[in-house]
């Protein structure tokens, strides 16, 4: 049980139709490790600037996240500013300041190198491979990516994909990566690039998993109050990978359960700004919502029940 | 077991990135009754013009659809011409000629008036109520509608909704009808208008059912070749209502199964132009795909399996 994540730690300023949050804790590695911390021990690799509030580091420690791989660099912390409209599906980025993240070189502490499960959050695919060159033989490697790399560093991304077991990707980005409008065909094309398993994130429509010989469809939890979608994808990945690392089984049945746990964590995360909802969770709430997902999707077999 | 549908019978000209079909059989009542005919006996009420090919009537008869309520009026049959882009989600209407449909007055034959289950396809909400005034006491009434009536005949539509048990509606139209961007809140608002059950159709993302105290999420079947989405919603409704009429049970478990059968019929329908795929179906294929939906959505309970 050891889960390594490499990604960003950021300070976000977010505006939604329901409110605003200024300079709050954000970043892919933050959301990921907080969500995963409910299932397993997480080691984080990221960089922050001299201005990064110590209270955020203490929060991660309180979630038992190992932060010995969190570098402090000269300069300011990565900042992102975005806005959502009523449909809440896509953020409009108002400002991105990479700051110390611009020159980030992931350095994996000796104690992390035997990690069994590795998550490469959405960073430069060249850096994603540098991480892999620093770890021993992980049993499972997953990565995320985005249109910025698909468009700008396609060849590097394809080299990275050859080395990973699972790719988590947004629906429109899957179509873009494969240059194929049909999602099933796009998935097959991406699997041929390397990842045996593809998980397509569809926001409020849930997620689809394409395995070697199976497809699994998970819904999103229908929420009456979606407050801030920031970090939903990384919270999903955290619940998903955290559960898998804890279970230490990566077959189809495990992956399906893990996707539901990922969906559970994403559904909590969007209920408030920043990490606020995930901060106050307990494991019983997570299990209760897992059961809600079961009720949400259940129907009788043919000739059964009714 | 008697299912009555009132809607349109049309000649469609459809262009998709994969081909074209000219003056082919279409219309909401056609798709609905063909899909439903695999489950129960269907009685159809609609109007066609003098130019309507007899072979199409013979096709409906071959599916055991009772066409004694199919009026032949002076003039031309309702024609629709539309086009789909690569995303196949929304049709661009190029031409609509209502022709004989413009003055359609549904007249329910005496033999249909004792129908237990009634489906009011997407027609003027005033006509939908005229249908209801001509039938005895159906056990279940469902209706469809569209943005044209939501925007143009809102008060009439709301009067109709007070009389129906189930509303089937597209996602964007649900939001528009309730003037509410959040789908869960929109569903509650629409249920307060009358229909105890709301079924929200989400195209390639499946369907959501909102009952009095439950929500059910059904996926769409991930297809490698979606050829023509025309009629998917009506095929869904046909499979859904056909199964319910046959089962004669309308509780939550029955509704969930019926939604999956509706999804099955929609998934077949989009595989070819017009009714071509549904024409060549057999019931075993329908059951096989139902089982595929089960495999597509199954995951273990907590503490079970893995």
Q: Nearest-CA residue of chain B relative to A284?
A: B302
A48-62, B78-92, B95-109, B171-185: range with lowest mean pLDDT: B78-92
Chain B residues in contact with A202 (beta carbon < 8 A): 205
Report B:251-280 residues touching A (Cβ under 8 A): 251, 253-254, 256-257, 259-260
The C-alpha of B299 sits at a distance from chain A's nearest C-alpha, in angstroms, of 6
Mutate to test the interface with A, among B172, B181, B198, B205 (most CBs of A within 10 A): B205
pLDDT digits (tens, 9 = 90+) for B241-280: 999 999 999 999 999 999 999 999 999 999 999 999 999 8
Chain B residues in contact with A215 (beta carbon < 8 A): 222, 296
pLDDT at A46 over 50: yes
Chain A residues in contact with B301 (beta carbon < 8 A): 291, 294
Q: Are residues A297 and B183, on separate chains, in Cβ contact within 8 Å?
A: no
pLDDT digits (tens, 9 = 90+) for B29-56: 999 999 999 999 999 999 999 999 999 9
The confidence score (pLDDT) of residue A306 equals 47
User: Predicted confidence band at B162 (pLDDT cuts at 50, 70, 90)?
Assistant: very high
Q: Which residue in A183, A217, A253 is closest to B300 by CB distance?
A: A253
The span from the CA of A235 to the CA of B64, in Å, is 52
Q: Are residues B299 and A249, on separate chains, in Cβ contact within 8 Å?
A: no
Greatest Cα pair distance, chain B, in angstroms, is 67
pLDDT digits (tens, 9 = 90+) for A159-209: 999 999 999 999 999 999 999 999 999 999 999 999 999 999 999 999 999
HEC secondary structure over B145-189: CCHHHHHHCHHHHHHHHCCCCEEEEEHHHHHHHHCCCCHHHHHHH
Q: Are residues A182 and B226, on separate chains, in Cβ contact within 8 Å?
A: yes
The confidence score (pLDDT) of residue B306 equals 47
Report A:166-195 residues touching B (Cβ under 8 A): 181-185
Percent of chain B with pLDDT over 90: 94
pLDDT at B129 over 70: yes
pLDDT at B89 over 80: no
Q: Is the dihedral of CA B17, B19, B25, B31 positive or negative?
A: negative
Q: Nearest-CA residue of chain A relative to B244?
A: A306
pLDDT at B303 over 90: no
| Token pair in block for residue A20 | 């605003």
pLDDT at B84 over 90: yes
Report B:83-142 residues touching A (Cβ under 8 A): 86-88
User: Predicted confidence band at B152 (pLDDT cuts at 50, 70, 90)?
Assistant: very high
The C-alpha of A130 sits at a distance from chain B's nearest C-alpha, in angstroms, of 33
Q: Are residues B216 and A299, on separate chains, in Cβ contact within 8 Å?
A: yes
Q: Are residues A305 and B247, on separate chains, in Cβ contact within 8 Å?
A: no
pTM: 0.96
pLDDT digits (tens, 9 = 90+) for B12-26: 999 998 899 999 999
The C-alpha of A261 sits at a distance from chain B's nearest C-alpha, in angstroms, of 10
Chain B residues in contact with A258 (beta carbon < 8 A): none
Q: Are residues A185 and B294, on separate chains, in Cβ contact within 8 Å?
A: no
Q: Nearest-CA residue of chain B relative to A202?
A: B205
Residue with tokens 């994808």: A233
- Rounded mean pLDDT of B100-129? 96
């Amino acid at each position: 049980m050891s889960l390594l994540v490499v990604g960003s730690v950021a300070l976000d300023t977010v505006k939604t139709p329901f409110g605003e949050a200024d300079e709050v804790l954000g970043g892919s590695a933050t959301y990921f490790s907080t969500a995963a911390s409910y299932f397993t021990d997480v080691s984080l690799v990221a960089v922050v600037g001299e201005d990064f509030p110590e209270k955020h580091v203490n929060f991660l420690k309180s979630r038992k996240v190992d932060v010995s791989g969190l570098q402090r660099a000269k300069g300011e912390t990565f900042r992102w500013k975005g806005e959502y409209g009523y449909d809440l599906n896509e953020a409009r980025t108002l400002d991105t300041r990479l700051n110390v993240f611009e020159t980030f070189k992931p350095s994996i502490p000796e104690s992390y190198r035997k990690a069994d499960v590795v998550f490469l959050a959405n960073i430069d695919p060249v850096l994603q491979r540098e991480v892999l060159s620093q770890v021993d033989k992980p049993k499972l490697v997953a990565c995320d990516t985005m249109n910025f790399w698909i468009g700008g560093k396609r060849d590097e991304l394809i080299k990275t994909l050859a080395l990973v077991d699972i790719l988590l990707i947004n629906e429109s980005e899957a179509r873009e990566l494969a240059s194929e409008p049909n999602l099933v065909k796009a998935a097959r094309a991406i699997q041929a690039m390397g990842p045996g398993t593809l998980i397509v994130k569809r926001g409020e429509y849930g997620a689809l998993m394409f395995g070697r010989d199976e497809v699994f469809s998970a819904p999103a939890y229908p929420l009456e109050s979606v407050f801030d979608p920031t970090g939903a994808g990384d919270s999903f990945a955290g619940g998903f990978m955290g559960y898998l690392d804890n279970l230490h089984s990566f077959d189809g049945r495990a992956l399906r359960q893990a996707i539901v746990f990922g969906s559970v964590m994403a559904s909590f995360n969007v209920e408030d700004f920043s990490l606020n909802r995930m901060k106050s969770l307990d494991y019983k709430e997570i299990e209760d919502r897992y059961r809600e997902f079961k009720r949400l999707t259940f129907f009788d077999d043919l000739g059964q029940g009714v």
